[in-house]
């Protein structure tokens, strides 16, 4: 990711990293947060969101992002099974400078499975420093 808002380009694609759906973590998550969910169906939507959240937070720790304003248009396409590797990416859809020191980035975030199929997506609005 570039050093500041002004260096970010519309259409830019940024990797959020990868994460394997761990079977033990899936069983623990289901027991704690999705009782009644059959783990054979794969990760429940809430766990898929949690996986994206972790990848996003880890990636954003190195960015000039100062605040997340919103997460919208959440879509779940499938429930990934235990052992599947998920790849996160962010595509910059728009940007708007706000004063001298910051700007808003609108981005689409996707989680893709090993075959490149969509698992989860959402839109975000975030403040980046200039």
**Looking at residue 122, what is its pLDDT?**
98
The series of mean pLDDT values per 10 residues for the chain, 130 residues long, is 87 97 98 96 98 96 93 98 98 95 97 97 96
Tallying the residues shown for the chain, one arrives at 130
Report whether 89 contacts 116 (CB < 8 A). no
Cα 106 to the chain's mean position, in Å?
13
Beta strand pairing call for 13-20 and 65-76: unpaired
In the chain the domains, ranked by start, together with CATH numbers, are 5-129 (3.10.129.10)
């Amino acid at each position: 990711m570039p050093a500041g808002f002004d260096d970010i380009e519309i259409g830019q694609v940024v990797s959020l990293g990868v994460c394997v759906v761990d079977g033990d973590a899936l069983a623990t998550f289901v027991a704690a947060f999705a009782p009644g969910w059959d783990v054979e169906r794969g990760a429940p939507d809430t766990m898929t969101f949690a996986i994206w959240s972790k990848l996003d937070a880890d990636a954003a720790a190195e960015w000039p992002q100062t605040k997340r304003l919103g997460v919208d248009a959440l879509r779940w396409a499938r429930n990934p099974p235990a052992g599947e590797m998920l790849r996160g990416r962010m595509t910059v859809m728009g940007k708007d400078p706000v004063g001298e020191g910051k700007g808003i980035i609108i981005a689409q975030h996707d989680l893709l499975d090993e075959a490149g199929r969509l698992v989860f997506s959402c839109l975000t609005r975030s403040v980046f420093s200039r």
